[in-house]
């Protein structure tokens, strides 16, 4: 296969990933990524059993993966450049040569980072920008643009990113990774359903804070979180709905008196007095002290004048 064909497959893969992220968010299930997509009758998986993965249809790796408890110590530096370990200890292993080929030809890759078992945060395009056989690692830039890496001839000199752009990009990636990790852990604790209405569609579920993260007590923990659908997350944040420390839902009194239609009647008013779905593990259930603080705020919320 020539490089033009390889780049065409990569472009199709990135389009497919963009479609999946628009449907599911940027944390995708392993099964979906491993199945991949069909292009002109040929299946193109995005990841495989090994960390450095090259589909049969391509001439170089399409993705690199960091597992939750894998055998390699992949790590991010303060510059948000990823030091990605070779396969094994032989620099000339064909997978390691594949990464050097991707670097030499500025081929974009997909980076898959395990957030929770079976779920991966996906980032593309990422580029191999340096190779260090002595430490058995390559350096991967998660924020470089392809145009900045294209060269007239192969080189092993790393691209020096702008310090301010790098610092900002690193902060943004850390925030996104942190948010995705907390969301997945909260959704798992609530069996991936809304604690208020039991809706099970991941695409419509959020990890809601009991105490907002703008508050010093708003720690990003499962015990300060609730799995809520988009409607009930919004209603909870805007104090239409409160939650007592005993995990019983309360609807604001003025909302209970409204007459609006079936959505208000069933989706909001109908929750009044209902006990929420709780995590099976007591250690993952809402912190009673945080619930009490939030419920006090709910009771003090001014109601619109009649």
For the segment(s) 3-182, the CATH number from 2.30.280, 3.40.630, 1.20.1740, 3.40.50 is 2.30.280
What's the start-to-end Cα distance of the chain, in Å?
73
Q: In this predicted structure, what is the pLDDT of residue 142?
A: 85
pTM of the predicted model over 0.85: no
What does the domain layout of the chain look like in residue ranges? 3-182, 191-299
pLDDT cut 90: percent of the chain above it: 71
Low-confidence spans in the chain with pLDDT less than 70: 1, 70-73, 77-80, 144-175, 305-306
Nearest to residue 26, comparing CAs of 127, 111, 146, 126? 111
Q: In this predicted structure, what is the pLDDT of residue 10?
A: 95
Separation of alpha carbons 67 and 87, rounded Å: 13
Average pLDDT, the chain: 88
Q: In this predicted structure, what is the pLDDT of residue 170?
A: 58
Strand partners, 137: 85, 132
Q: Tens digit of pLDDT for each residue in 210-259?
A: 999 888 888 889 999 999 999 999 999 999 999 999 999 999 999 999 99
């Amino acid at each position: 296969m020539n490089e033009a064909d390889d780049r065409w497959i990569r472009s199709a893969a990135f389009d497919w990933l963009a479609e999946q992220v628009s449907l599911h968010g940027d944390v995708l299930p392993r099964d979906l990524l491993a199945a991949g997509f069909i292009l002109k009758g040929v299946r193109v998986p995005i990841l495989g059993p090994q960390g450095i993965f090259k589909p049969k249809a391509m001439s170089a790796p399409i993705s690199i993966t960091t597992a939750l408890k894998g055998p390699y110590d992949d790590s991010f530096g303060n510059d948000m450049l990823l030091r990605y370990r070779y396969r094994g200890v032989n620099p000339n292993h064909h997978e390691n040569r594949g990464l050097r080929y991707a670097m030499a030809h500025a081929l974009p890759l997909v980076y898959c980072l395990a957030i929770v078992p079976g779920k991966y945060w996906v980032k593309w395009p990422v580029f191999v920008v340096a190779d260090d056989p002595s430490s058995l690692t390559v350096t991967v830039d998660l924020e470089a643009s392809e145009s900045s890496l294209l060269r007239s001839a192969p080189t092993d000199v790393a691209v020096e990113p702008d310090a301010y752009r790098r610092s900002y990009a690193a902060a943004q990636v850390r925030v996104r990774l942190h948010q995705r990790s907390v969301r997945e852990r909260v959704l798992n604790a609530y069996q991936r359903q809304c604690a208020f209405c039991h809706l099970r569609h991941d695409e419509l579920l959020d990890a809601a804070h009991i105490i907002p993260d703008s508050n010093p007590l708003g720690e990003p923990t499962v015990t300060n979180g609730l799995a809520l659908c988009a409607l009930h997350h919004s209603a909870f944040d805007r104090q239409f709905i409160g939650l007592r420390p005993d995990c019983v839902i309360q609807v604001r009194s003025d909302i209970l008196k409204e007459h609006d239609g079936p959505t208000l009647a069933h989706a909001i008013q109908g929750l009044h007095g209902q006990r929420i779905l709780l995590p099976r593990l007591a250690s993952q259930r809402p912190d009673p002290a945080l619930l009490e603080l939030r419920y006090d705020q709910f009771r003090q919320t001014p109601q619109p004048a009649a």
